[in-house]
Amino acid sequence: MCCCASTCTVGDFVPAVTASLSAAVLTCCRPGRAMAAVLALLVAWPAAAAAVRVTQDSLLNVCMDAKHHKTEPGPEGQLYGQCVLWKDNACCTANTSLEAHRDQSYLYNFNWDHCGAMPEKCKRHFIQDTCLYECSPNLGPWIDQVGADPTLTHPPGCQGWRKERIRDVPLCQEDCEQWWEDCQDAVTCKVNWHKGWNWTTGTNQCPKGAMCQKFKFVFPTAAALCEQVWSGSYRYTSHHRGSGHCIQMWFDPTQGNPNVAVAQYYAHGDAPPNSLLSILLSLLPLTLLALL
């Protein structure tokens, strides 16, 4: 169906747009006005592209709005122990990195040994998990706003202790598998460590009636451990270290931080493929109205 801008309806126009943007304009407008519409859209394209780039870049090199994070990442030459991987550009301070290694630190009053002593080979993964969470400036694509959740339980005085969290961070397969392998014989009483604890003593204790069991029964697979222990903060993937498609909890800092490229990949590469077209299409009605 052919019509001019003054008589086109949305129903008439959408099929043509879907087939081809320029063809749609030429179909529904007289040649002179069609050229003006195309030129207007071409002028709008760079601005739309720039807006998308700004949005994508805002996800890179950022710190969460949480309890102990710095407002902006930067070098921290004195990071402690396993957190040293992020010393060149970190969202954590040296003191936070030190506390991340304590069994019951002031960070969250969380006790790894709630069902007896956690083996050191297992505990190092939870320390690394804490270092990644506190120190990494490369988690922007997965930062999510924290809504009010009445089911969450916190240490005394810590209600509303953060405004943002991470969700569905794609961990490399090796990181999840080794985490589970080293922790399968450790013991816990809960699947989701984000909520449901008894905090009456000031530190987390198993809720009444909860039974301590080995990890391999509580978390039967590596995917279950990575995805459930922190209520969906991480996502198990089949991607391998060095693929550029998964976040590494462990890496050699002398070779650079591989998570920089991963964050860029998801910030830019995972953008909806038609996002620019959608923006331009939203401008199209105004362009056509200008031709009336």
Structure confidence at residue 78 (pLDDT):
87
Structure confidence at residue 104 (pLDDT):
76
Instruction: Work out the angle between the directed axes of helices 275-291 and 21-28 (0-180°, nearest 10).
Output: 10
pLDDT tens per residue, range 192-216 = 999 999 999 999 999 999 999 999 9
Structure confidence at residue 55 (pLDDT):
54
Structure confidence at residue 77 (pLDDT):
84
Structure confidence at residue 119 (pLDDT):
97
Structure confidence at residue 179 (pLDDT):
98
Structure confidence at residue 187 (pLDDT):
98
Using the CB atoms, write b or e for 22-39: b if 16+ within 10 Å: eebbbbbbeeebbebbbe
**Segments of the chain scoring below 70 in pLDDT:** 1-56, 148-161, 270-292
Structure confidence at residue 60 (pLDDT):
94
